[in-house]
Amino acid sequence: MNIIFFKSKSEKHLEPLHSYTNKIGFFPIAGSTFAENIICRVQKIITISAKLEIQIREDFWPSAELLKLVSGKKNISIKDEQEEILLRLFSEKNCEEEIIQVDTKSLIVKYSWDFLKINEEVVSELKENKINGTIKEGVNIDGVVEIDEGTVLLPGVYIEGNAIIGKNCKIGPNCYIRGNTHIGNSCHIGQAVEIKNSIILDKVSIGHLSYVGDSIIAEKTNFGAGTITANLRHDGKNQGSLINGKSMDTGRRKLGIIAGEEVHTGINTTLYPGRKLWPHTSTLPGEIVKTDKQS
């Protein structure tokens, strides 16, 4: 089986994670990269043939149901509503090609929060523990976890649900991690921090007494003590987010923030849901962030 990625022509709005706009495949998902997760997913489901070539658009996350549908077929193309090819299976020359439309469970990455949905799916599918780090006495794990070498979980850490934690992290004491969370390498999650259903990239420090929910926090970001991300509207409606100055429905009932790399928040910062912090921005102690913040 030969898997080839090709570029997407569709417009992307990955701000403030715009450094990944032209290299979507490198975005960290569940302890690996987006592209590596796609390859793993395809190889698990599609019938393997030495002659089979798979061409897949770099921003396309095919559903398991769709891959099962095309598995075993010889020549087939999956297209979107604009008739652009998303995935193509090719195994025999001079064979008629079958065309099918993409299903609603598949996802095309267009916005930064789309990565959250994919991460949720991949982490939730973990089947067995892989623990190479150190777990101190007094840690409780109620789920399936992957904990890489050099990472230490201090007393009082409670993990509920599945989680992936990278290398050389310090977690705790007394942290609460839940809901399909991925924490990258060399991160520090301090005393009494709660992280829920989020993607935390490498070298992030989240100070004590903070809450991060349904959020993406990019590399080398530092959250001051008591930083709180809101992730739910009082009226229960979907979260909105500004794209090119216009508010759009993200399709998510719960969405915290998207923070670019090297963001710094002052102590007791409060962030409204669905807000974005551009790389290298900072907040003052006690600041309430009501709108997107650009440097």
Locate 136 and state its tokens. Answer: 């101190």
- Are 179 and 195 in contact by the 8 Å Cβ rule? The answer is no
- Ramachandran bin of 220, using left for φ above 0, alpha for ψ from -120 to 50, beta for the remaining angles: left
- Are 161 and 178 in contact by the 8 Å Cβ rule? The answer is yes
Given the residues 18, 182, 208, 234, the one annotated as active site:
208
- Are 128 and 111 in contact by the 8 Å Cβ rule? The answer is no
Q: Is 266 exposed, middle or buried (0-12, 13-18, 19+ CB in 10 A)?
A: middle
Nearest to 176 by CA among 211, 214, 217: 211
- Report the run of H or E that residue 60 belongs to, with start and end: strand 60-61
* Residues ≥6 apart with Cβ < 8 Å to 265: 222, 223, 224, 227, 271, 282, 283, 287
Check if 280 is active-site: no
Taking CA 35 as the corner, what is the angle to CA 29 and CA 38, rounded to the nearest 5 degrees?
A: 90
- φ, ψ (nearest 5 deg) of residue 248: -130, 155
Catalytic residues: 208
